[in-house]
Amino acid sequence: MLEMKKGRDLPFEEVQRIYETEWSAIGFEDDYQEQEYKKDGLEQLRTFHAAMMESLPKILEQEKGFELDLENNVIVKGRIDQINSLEGSLGRKDVEIVDYKTGKPRKDSEAKKDLQLSIYAIAVKEILELNPVRLVFHYLQNNQRQETTRDAKQLDEAQNMVQEVAAEIRAGEFAAKPGFQCRGCAYKPICPAFEEALAAGV
């Protein structure tokens, strides 16, 4: 990606070599599962590389770490996958923020409310003094882009949400939210919410 950032062509053979070198076999159930994931990852990388070589974005930042200072001594730390300049736009500081995803695409309604993208937009505005006019989830599985935006009201709401979560953490308030995700949870035997549900016959 560093070569792409410099605007240079990067042969896929070199990309594949890096992929093979950096691949880790840790975490897979068996050799078959590992090889299937490895093969799928390589195909995703091949498709992504072809798309990038066809139309290289003007990359300003990659893996950009940040520390965002908010009110009430709240500090949010993060890392943005990629920030691209939008040279054709009216504003010289207009950019798009790209977050790469390996999972399945989200619903548009979820992308519009995603807190992570909102925090990225705030960080880019406040720290880098750039204008994030477009926020993008780039799904590597199908090489599709899901674009969304944030207005000032949405960014204010995101900051309020961060403040609420921070206040709950400081107060030690971690109320359980039982749901479908609890079915396979290993902590059921010590979960007060699960005990309450059993007692209620739910």
Mean pLDDT of the chain: 89
Q: Which two tokens stand for residue 113?
A: 């409310």
Give per-residue pLDDT as tens, 70-95: 999 999 999 999 999 997 655 569 99
Which pLDDT belongs to residue 89? 57
Question: Three-state DSSP class for 69?
Answer: strand
CA–CA distance, 76 with 155 (Å, rounded to integer): 14
Mean pLDDT of 145-157: 97
CA distances from 153 to 20, 85, 156, 194, 199 (A): 45, 24, 5, 38, 43
Band of pLDDT at residue 19, cut at 50, 70 and 90: very high
Q: What integer pLDDT is reported at residue 40 of this predicted model? A: 94
Determine the pLDDT at residue 7. 54
Band (pLDDT 50/70/90 cuts) for residue 117 is very high
